[in-house]
Amino acid sequence: MQFIDLSSQQKRIRDKLESRIRTVLDHGQYIMGPEIGKLESALAAYTGTKCAVSCASGTDALLLALMSYGIGPRDAIITTPFTFFATAEAIALLGAVPVFVDIDPVTFNIDPVLIEMAIEAVAAGNPRVYPVPARALEGGLSVRGIISVDLFGLPADYNAIDTIARENGLFLIEDAAQSFGGECFGRKTGSLGDVGCTSFFPAKPLGCYGDGGMCFTSDNSIADKLRSFRVHGQGSDKYENVRIGINGRMDTIQAAVLLEKFEIFPEEILMRQEVAGRYTSLLRSDDSPVVCPGIPDGYLSAWAQYSVLAKEGVERPELLRRLKDAGIPTAVYYPKPLHFQEAFADLGYMEGDFPVSEQYAKRIFSLPMHPYLQAGDQERIASVLKGNSQ
């Protein structure tokens, strides 16, 4: 059994993938070839945004979005400590200060009520209102934006977060690296903030065969900046540089792979709903040692991961051992909240600052999840989890 099975998908479309890659080999435009524009148009239409700007990774997508808002050392950005490292790394790489806010215990996503408390704590220079990094209290530093993360594929609470962003004059970046294909009240992920950033890392819901990413926005002036920062701060002429940027383009071959995979992607999102639904009906029972993820009304998860919590009093290592002994792969996302990472030690956070993230880091784990997971395998996983030897 595989944790994420990419080979079943490849078998379905292998011939078409090869033909798309052959087309790139024939035209030879490896950088910014025609597939790039085609992919950007197709995915912008899918997400319901005006502009899509492809790039080299999800991390670059976040970096380009922050650069387009001119983020630097005098800025603070609010985000969650319960995410992949790259979310906060992009903030710190530009010299800005990540201000962490704990998660909602049901959705694992950033808690809007606590966002308001963190904004107030920075404005008042008072860490008793909410724990904030010492550097955010030194004065002269202001909260400029929010990066919300759609963890495991489930969109964050955009109705509330968007209102907070508007009321406080902040931009909202949606880290949709795990949620491409998800929805929040009928709107697709990628379109839920001012800029949506996604990743096409192979294991993400829509993955290529290497690294890739994309920014989505309906703000034309931000889109122009994203395109400029993506290629060395280029101006209107190729050899004119108007700002300091990066080399952050997507390879044409990756765009070709994505165009083909996108053909079956909407169907795969439906298949993921079925797989997740089966897990939930198998694992919701009283004899289950885990708490299943909760999807609020009005939301559709892209189910990048199916992550469960060991019930109170249940030892996670014991559950992981049972699964391992039965040959069932698992993963722990995330064993260490970002405020405990050595790279962020200078922020000065302490144990107890984000109790939900800290507790969940000890209880959470993820089960095999992909569109091609068979009902029989899921029944076996549930049975092994419940302690019935199989």
Ligand X SMILES: *Cc1c(COP(=O)(O)O)cnc(C)c1O
Member of 64, 66, 86, 184 binding ligand X (CB under 6 A): 86
The answer to whether 192 contacts ligand X (rule: CB under 6 A) is no
| Contact stretch for ligand X (CB under 6 A) within 54-62, 105-113, 184-192, 352-360 | 54-62
The answer to whether 57 contacts ligand X (rule: CB under 6 A) is yes
Per the CB < 8 A criterion, the answer to whether 111 and 104 are in contact is yes
**Beta pairing class for 51-55 and 364-367:** unpaired
What whole-number distance in Å separates Cα of residue 295 and Cα of residue 301?
Answer: 7
What whole-number distance in Å separates Cα of residue 339 and Cα of residue 319?
Answer: 26
| Contact stretch for ligand X (CB under 6 A) within 57-65, 92-100, 112-120, 369-377 | 57-65
| Contact stretch for ligand X (CB under 6 A) within 83-91, 218-226, 230-238, 242-250 | 83-91
Min. distance of Cβ 110 from ligand X in angstroms? Answer: 12
Question: Which residue's entry shows tokens 């997971």?
Answer: 373
Min. distance of Cβ 175 from ligand X in angstroms? Answer: 5
Member of 54, 83, 357, 366 binding ligand X (CB under 6 A): 83
Member of 17, 149, 195, 214 binding ligand X (CB under 6 A): 149
Min. distance of Cβ 82 from ligand X in angstroms? Answer: 10
The answer to whether 87 contacts ligand X (rule: CB under 6 A) is yes
Q: How far is CA 105 from the centre of its chain?
A: 18
The answer to whether 132 contacts ligand X (rule: CB under 6 A) is no
Min. distance of Cβ 161 from ligand X in angstroms? Answer: 16
Smallest Cα–Cα separation from 79: which of 93, 67, 95, 90? 90
Min. distance of Cβ 382 from ligand X in angstroms? Answer: 26
| Contact stretch for ligand X (CB under 6 A) within 66-74, 81-89, 291-299, 309-317 | 81-89
Binding mask 207-246 for ligand X (x = CB under 6 A): ----x-x---------------------------------
Nearer to ligand X, 57 or 301 (CB): 57
The answer to whether 58 contacts ligand X (rule: CB under 6 A) is yes
Nearer to ligand X, 299 or 322 (CB): 299
List binders of ligand X among 152-181 (CB under 6 A): 175, 177-178
Number of neighbours of residue 93 by Cβ within 10 angstroms: 15
> How is residue 76 written in tokens?
């603070």
Q: Which single residue brings its beta carbon nearest to ligand X?
A: 58
Min. distance of Cβ 173 from ligand X in angstroms? Answer: 11
Member of 199, 228, 252, 330 binding ligand X (CB under 6 A): 199
Nearer to ligand X, 54 or 83 (CB): 83
The answer to whether 201 contacts ligand X (rule: CB under 6 A) is yes
Min. distance of Cβ 178 from ligand X in angstroms? Answer: 5
Per rule CB under 6 A, count of chain residues that contact ligand X? 15
Min. distance of Cβ 84 from ligand X in angstroms? Answer: 4
Q: How far is CA 26 from the centre of its chain?
A: 34
The answer to whether 76 contacts ligand X (rule: CB under 6 A) is no
What whole-number distance in Å separates Cα of residue 262 and Cα of residue 20?
Answer: 13
Member of 82, 84, 216, 229 binding ligand X (CB under 6 A): 84
What is the contact surface with ligand X in residues (CB under 6 A)? Answer: 57-59, 83-84, 86-87, 149, 175, 177-178, 199, 201, 211, 213
